[in-house]
Amino acid sequence: MSYEGKVQLTGLIVVTPDQVAEGDRLFAGHAEWMSKTHHRSGPKALLAYTVAKQPEIVDGEPTGNTVFTLTEIYETAAGPEDHLKQAGESWDDWISGKFQNWMASGVNSITAISSPIVRSLW
């Protein structure tokens, strides 16, 4: 299935070794929360969800840090908008600020909330 024309939310979070366990915990809870709350059809539909995790590599060498990459693909821009609304209402780690604090305490983080997908295969 090609996702061209759909909308993607992406987050890249680079953390030090002491922050990895908290990232694992947060994303496990995030996936569970999303599976219970997010639309599966219609304009707000969540079409794909992945969290990838790998060692950070700079100039071909591992830094000791870990990169978490979150990807969520939605039918339309209404999906990420609904996602943020729901997070503020029902995801405990968002309401408490734990997720945001973890992201802010990392080495680096980049988030793109509602990016139109311009290339996609299959």
| Residue ranges of domains in the chain | 7-116
So what's the pLDDT on residue 121?
96
Phi, psi (degrees; rounded to nearest 5) at 100: -65, -40
- When pLDDT is averaged across residues 94-99 and rounded to a whole number, the result is 97
CATH of 7-116, one of 1.10.645.10, 3.40.50.300, 3.40.50.261, 3.30.70.100: 3.30.70.100
Q: Whole-angstrom Cα distance, residue 72 to residue 56?
A: 21
**pLDDT at residue 111, as a whole number:** 95
Give pLDDT tens digits for 47-66: 999 999 999 999 999 999 99
CA dihedral 37, 100, 29, 41 (to 10 degrees): 20
pLDDT of 39 reads 98
Task: Please report the pLDDT score of residue 42 as a whole number.
Answer: 98
Average pLDDT over residues 100-115: 94
Which value, to the nearest 10 degrees, does the dihedral of the CA atoms of residues 118, 38, 25, 71 take?
Answer: 0
The pLDDT confidence band at residue 31, using thresholds 50, 70 and 90, is: very high
Tell me the average pLDDT across 15-28.
Answer: 98
d(CA 60, CA 40): 40
Q: Hey, how many other C-beta atoms are within 10 angstroms of the C-beta on 13?
A: 24
Q: Taking all residues of the chain, what is their mean pLDDT, rounded to a whole number?
A: 97
Q: What is the model's pLDDT at position 72?
A: 99
State how far the Cα of 114 lies from the Cα of 101, in Å rounded to an integer.
21
> Residue 83: pLDDT band by 50, 70, 90 thresholds?
very high
What is the Cα Rg of the chain in Å?
Answer: 15
Spatial CA neighbour of 25 closest among 84, 93, 105, 103: 93
pLDDT of residue 73: 99
